[in-house]
Amino acid sequence: MVKAEDFFFSGFLTPGNTSNPVGSYVTPVNVMQIPGLNTLGISMVRVDYAPYGQNPPHTHPRATEILVVLEGTLYVGCYTPGEAFVFPVGLIHFQFNTGKTNAVAIAALSSQNPGVITIANAVFGSNPKISDDVLTKAFQVDKNVVDYLQAQFWWPNN
């Protein structure tokens, strides 16, 4: 039975907790939060950034994204409130708060379930681990660098 709650989400009213290693928090609203989005082909996220926080390099395998800065200054291609930037489906992208104050952005995505793959997590935090030989050659770095990166905890901010 369909009900009004299947089409409502109030989670964007509350800023996300940005006191984590990357300094950002992503609040999604997709088909998991609003069942009424099923088959509509849209979703959104609110991204909160601490000063100098970032939304690490990531990709959405099933959606194009348009990001609008609401507060603060972000390094992405758009800089100030009201400006927008488009990231085509599958393109690796990031946002970095260049300001000394918090920043907030809203993004719309062209899928009710866009998915997200954070690059560092996928490459250096994979389970099972990707072979040192593969990563050493791919990134043209010493094996000690790869071992160090694989030993880190990769923060899942989304």
Could you tell me if residue 125 is inside a domain?
no
102 assigned to a ligand binding site:
no
Q: Are 108 and 114 in contact (CB under 8 A)?
A: no
60 assigned to a ligand binding site:
yes
DSSP 129: P
Could you tell me if residue 21 is inside a domain?
yes
Exposed, middle or buried: residue 113 (CB in 10 Å: 0-12, 13-18, 19+)?
Answer: middle
Could you tell me if residue 20 is inside a domain?
yes
Give the CATH number of the domain where residue 36 resides: 2.60.120.10
83 assigned to a ligand binding site:
no
Domain holding 66, by residue range, is: 4-117
Could you tell me if residue 138 is inside a domain?
no
What pLDDT score does 156 carry? 72
Q: What is the mean pLDDT of residues 112-128?
A: 93
pLDDT tens digit sequence for 45-84: 999 999 999 999 999 999 999 999 999 999 996 667 888 9
65 assigned to a ligand binding site:
yes
What pLDDT score does 79 carry? 66
Structural domain count, the chain: 1
pLDDT tens digit sequence for 1-49: 889 999 999 999 999 999 999 999 999 999 999 999 999 999 999 999 9
121 assigned to a ligand binding site:
no
Alpha carbon of 108 to those of 1, 6, 60: distances in Å? 28, 19, 12
For the chain, how big is the Rg over CA atoms in Å?
17
User: What is the rounded average pLDDT for all residues in the chain?
Assistant: 93
Exposed, middle or buried: residue 92 (CB in 10 Å: 0-12, 13-18, 19+)?
Answer: exposed
Could you tell me if residue 98 is inside a domain?
yes
